[in-house]
Structure 1
Amino acid sequence: MIRRTVEVGGFTKSQLIHKLKKESILMNELGETLLDDDRFTTSDRKYIVETVEIAVQDLGFLEGGTITQIFEKANQLGLKLCPLELGPYLRLAYLDQPEANLNGHQQHKAPYGSITVASQILTENHDLPKGFYLRRIDGVLWLRGYVCDDTHIWEPDDHFIFVKQ
């Protein structure tokens, strides 16, 4: 497990987007859709969260697990879902993320070297983004959105970030 302390809040949505652009952080279309969603809100007050990065296998899923299984097990272990706004703030705080290993293409799987921010899913619509993940490719930092349904099996070596209770 990797622990991080992250300061969250204090920016409006437009200020947060401006800060991401200023730091040359790229986004995919799903990430932009999630940020544009009215349900994505920002706190005007700053607060501190303690995060825990953990692999699916370290939650006990040696063969992988669904997002529901992963979230439920994490909760049993005293970890909780992240506020949705944590994704961009975490991306801004974690500028030294290691380079992704791009050996091979992973269709319908979390990309190599990515870290998924475990947050409350806003909609059951499988075409809309469920949350954010962080990635570094060719020296470029990304804040990306992802889609999945509850039948998708996350690999044992996929990494998630939760908030420590």
Structure 2
Amino acid sequence: MRIENGEKIYPNCLTITRTVEVGGLTKSQLIQKMQQHSILMNEFGERLFAEANFTTSAKTYTLNTIELTVRDLGLPEGATTTQLFKRANDLGLELCPLELGPNLRLRYLDQPEGYSGQPSRQHQAPYGSITIASEILTEDENFPKGFYLRRIKGMLWLRWIHCR
């Protein structure tokens, strides 16, 4: 499949795939493991972690992830979260469980630097970050919508997504 300007979209585009083991750890155990690896969380990431609706599976399972850009979904001008999720679903992709964020962060310790002096971008994911497309816990505009992974000046982060 191609969009009007000839760019390839999923599944006919370059992708990064990962197999990630998820589950088997409580939220407290995940936090402890992240601290052991010096992984940082911002205040809103901690708030999301503390939310009662954010649960972890007692049973371990494996997920296959696909890393794509919004453009890879055929949306070169960007889109709302609802539009992104619908487009991904139309292409046969599913949302990830929220617990994938901390589990992927723990397994992707060699993430390249994302800052590299790049200017911040408004209404877009930061350079070098990986946003986890997961179910939104609440429609409250002031509550975090999910996690993203980033390396900033050598430090690994699990941060929150803010979007409407």
Is TM (by shorter chain) over 0.5? yes
Q: How does 1:75-86 map to 2 (within 5 A)?
A: 75-86=89-100
Match of 1:130 in 2: 145
Unaligned runs of 5+ in 1: 150-165
TM-score, normalised on structure 2? 0.88
**Larger strand percent:** 1
Aligned equivalents of 1:29 and 1:112: distance in 2? 21
- Secondary structure of 1:11's counterpart equals coil
**Displacement after TM superposition at 1:62 (Å):** 1.2
State the AA in 2 paired with 1:92. L
The aligned runs of 1:89-108 (5 Å cut-off) are: 89-100=103-114, 101-108=116-123
Residue by residue over 1:66-106, the C-alpha shift from the partner in whole angstroms, topping out at 9 and shown as x without a partner, is 11111111111111000011100000011111110332122
Residue 3 in structure 1 maps to residue 21 in structure 2: no
Cα deviations across residues 19-64 of structure 1 (Å, max 9, x unaligned)?
1111100001111000000011111111000000000001001111
Task: Name the structure 2 match of 1:112.
Answer: 127
Question: How far apart are residue 111 of structure 1 and its match?
Answer: 1.2
Is the aligned partner of 1:19 residue 2:33? yes
Asked which structure has the greater RCO (Cα within 8 Å, sep 6+), the reply is 1
Kindly tell me the number of residue pairs found equivalent between the two proteins: 149
Q: Which moved more, 1:107-116 or 1:16-25?
A: 107-116
1:57 aligns with 2:62: no
Give the superposition deviation at 1:108.
Answer: 3.8
Give, in angstroms, the shift of residue 145 of structure 1: 0.7
Contact 1:102 1:112 survives alignment (8 Å): no
Q: TM-score, normalised by structure 1?
A: 0.87
**Structure 1 residue 138: Cα displacement:** 1.1
In structure 2, C-alpha distance between the alignment counterparts of 1:145 and 1:10, rounded to whole Å: 23
4+ aligned runs moved over 2 Å, structure 1: 105-109
Amino acid paired to 1:25: I
CA distance in 2, matches of 1:102, 1:142: 17
| Paired AA for residue 133 in structure 1 | Y
Q: Secondary structure at the match of 2:159?
A: strand
Quick one: percent identity of the two aligned structures?
62
CA RMSD of aligned residues (A): 1.0
